[in-house]
Amino acid sequence: MDSKKKIAEIREKYNRTFGNVTGQMVLTHEQVQFLLSKLDREREENRKLLEERDEARRKAEEAWKEIDSLEQLREERDKLIEGLRWYAEGWIDSRDEGQRAREILKEIGVTVE
């Protein structure tokens, strides 16, 4: 007998017994064993689902860190390109003495002496 039928049978027995004056329901050993094994299977399934959820959450957090890192790298690349274009376009001013390049490098965390 499949699970749904057994559960329906137990429910039916419960509903019949509930209306009884004594209100006591007697389940067979087989029915109790069935319910306990069903409960164990569902608990195990729930445990596995929680593990999968936790793993998915961990992977999502790692992915967000990677995205943040990529965004930072893009910003640094854009700053370097800006600096190279600035030099390529001949904006070097003898009074500047590379100050703009040092500012750009400082913005991306490069120490220049």
Range of the domain at 95: 3-107
> Do you know the residue count of the chain?
113
Instruction: With respect to residue 79, please indicate whether it lies within any of the assigned structural domains.
Output: yes
Look at the chain and report how many structural domains it folds into. Answer: 1
Mean pLDDT rounded to a whole number for the chain: 80
Find where tokens 């004056």 sit: 21
- Whether 112 maps to a domain, the answer reads no
Q: In the predicted model, is pLDDT for residue 86 greater than 60?
A: yes
Q: Residue 56 and residue 107: Cα distance in Å, rounded? A: 35
Residue 90 lies in a domain: yes
DSSP result, 60-99:
HHHHHHHHHHHHHHHHHHHHHHHHHHHHHTT---TTTTTH
Q: Is 51 within a domain?
A: yes
Q: What is the pLDDT of residues 59-76, one digit of tens each?
A: 999 999 999 999 999 988
Written as six digits, the tokens of 46 are: 């729930």
Whether residue 45 is predicted with pLDDT greater than 90 in this model: the reply is yes
**In this structure, is residue 27 part of a structural domain?**
yes
Residue 113 belongs to some domain of the structure: no
pLDDT digits over 5-41, tens only? 888 887 777 777 665 555 566 777 888 888 889 999 9
Q: Report the predicted TM-score, pTM, of the whole model to 2 decimal places.
A: 0.51
Examine residue 82 and state whether it is found in any structural domain, yes or no.
Answer: yes
Q: Are 24 and 17 in contact (CB under 8 A)?
A: yes
